[in-house]
A and B are shown apart, each in its own frame.
Chain A
Amino acid sequence: MTPRIELSGVSKRFGSRQVLDGLSVSVMPGESLVIIGGSGTGKSVSLKCILGLIPIDAGSIKVDGQEVAGLKGAALDAHRTRFGMLFQGGALFDSLPVWRNISFALPGRAADRRAAAIDNLARVGLGAEVADLRPAELSGGMQKRVALARAIAVRPPIIFFDEPTTGLDPITAAVINKLIRTLVTDLKITALAITHDMASVRLIADRVAMLHAGKIIWHGPLASLDGCENPYVRQFIHGSTEGPIQMPGVRQ
């Protein structure tokens, strides 16, 4: 089976900083892959590279077997229609009310789009009363959920979730994790998620990959995560300061 998304040897540097350094990873259709890794290791950058928002320096990115790195114009637009994206910071349009944000890419009459927006609000655990508020009037966690509602509203076949549960209370986080799981199992969506939240990893992942120093240093099915011998992964999932990953300035 051709992978839905296949990255091989992707490299990207910003100035003198090599952020991605030969990154290779693939996601199969209908699968949910969670990428874990320290802050600043290039997780968000790699999603943006796949979407063509950041050009890559080297390597190849294939979606459904088709090379997408370097696409331009109409071909790039067509490529992007397959994706929904939840940005780490939400990226809501602050000039538009919540319901216009959610229904932004939906066709049809305003009344239908508004109804669809309210449907999607309900899926992320928000009521119709927030539909007419501006993003600035929402709490951080609410903004994140509205952004999630916007990402899923067009029912794209592939959805990227950049830290879907950061800033949410444990109960809301559980609702969101369940929603992502439902999208994958019931709607056969291919999901690529980034998270630091280990509870969330266990609830949404089919497979887990760990990004470190610009490369995937370990990947495997969720079930093999706990028994994993890789010292980087062990340190990360136990949240320990002792191990091969050193934080600059932190002494043991």
Chain B
Amino acid sequence: MIAALVAIGAPVLAAFTAIGRLTRFAITALTRMLQPPWYPAQLAQQMLVIGWLSLPVVGLTAIFTGSALAQQIFIGGSRFNAASTVPAVTVIGVVRELGPVLGGLMVAGRVASAMAAELGTMRVTEQIDALVTLRTDPFRWLVGPRILAAVLVMPFLVLVSNALGVMGGWLLATQRLGFNSAQYLATTQRYLEVDDVMSSLVKAGVFGFFIALMGCYHGYHSGGGAAGVGRATTNAVVSSFILILLSNLIITVIVFGS
């Protein structure tokens, strides 16, 4: 009986400890970001690394998925004589869900892992300790610029992702499914709502926050040499994926559920 309780209790306790540690890390990062010194050069560099260098993956993902989506809607819609819904459903699906979620996941795969590996290496080679002895707060120098850069840049990436996703659908529909280009674009425009775009930008900011937070958190607390850094990288990617999907569900239910 006791053994069973212990068996259940230990992982539950561990989970709460981990959540507490993560929350404290996030609060520390956010409060330190509000106080100087700030490091604008670090911020600019992170914006470049996260934003510019993620454009190819995010763009390709969006085009491929937007096209595939249009094809599936066409097949499904044809059964109900509703093949003409392709432009409307594509734009809603891309802007509300696929653009932000797939963009977020791709950026998470690229960026959360890279951040965890970089900070983890800095931890195990004592570079983070060295920062501290050189009067520099790792939260302001490393963590803050990464989180802020991700939150600022993700909405732009998601805008690109939305636009290219819709374009992918349009390309496939006009090239393969025989849609008229002008009509397709006009329908797309009619069904493109400001609220949908806003919600996708909010999602993007939230995803950016989680991506950088998980990358930094796991890297910062990494230990145990190269294997430890490897674990930190995996954990950063997996946990940011889960947080993206979970927060996406919550935002979707709040915004569109009522």
Contacts and interface: CB of A to CB of B under 8 A. Distances in A.
Interface of A: 48, 51, 53, 77, 80-81, 83-85, 87-89, 91-95, 104-105, 150, 154
B81 interface: no
Interface of B: 118, 121-122, 125-127, 129-137
Nearest to A78: B135
Contacts of A95: 118
A81 B126 CA distance: 18
A153 to B, nearest CB: 9
25 contacts: A51-B129, A51-B132, A51-B133, A53-B133, A77-B135, A80-B132, A80-B133, A80-B135, A83-B133, A84-B133, A85-B130, A87-B126, A87-B129, A89-B125, A91-B125, A91-B129, A91-B130, A93-B122, A93-B127, A93-B130, A94-B125, A95-B118, A105-B135, A150-B134, A154-B134
B126 A105 contact: no
- Most A CB within 10 A of own CB, among B121, B125, B126, B137: B126
A51 B126 CA distance: 13
B127 A94 contact: yes
Given A85-B130, A85-B133, A105-B135, 10 more contacts: A51-B132, A53-B132, A83-B133, A84-B133, A88-B126, A91-B127, A91-B130, A94-B125, A105-B136, A154-B134
B126 A91 contact: yes
Contacts of A89: 125-126
Contact of A48 (B118, B121, B122, B129): B129
B129 A105 contact: no
Nearest to B126: A91
A91 B127 CA distance: 5
Give the 4 A-B CB pairs with smallest separation, nearest first: A91-B130, A91-B126, A105-B134, A85-B133
A53 B137 CA distance: 13
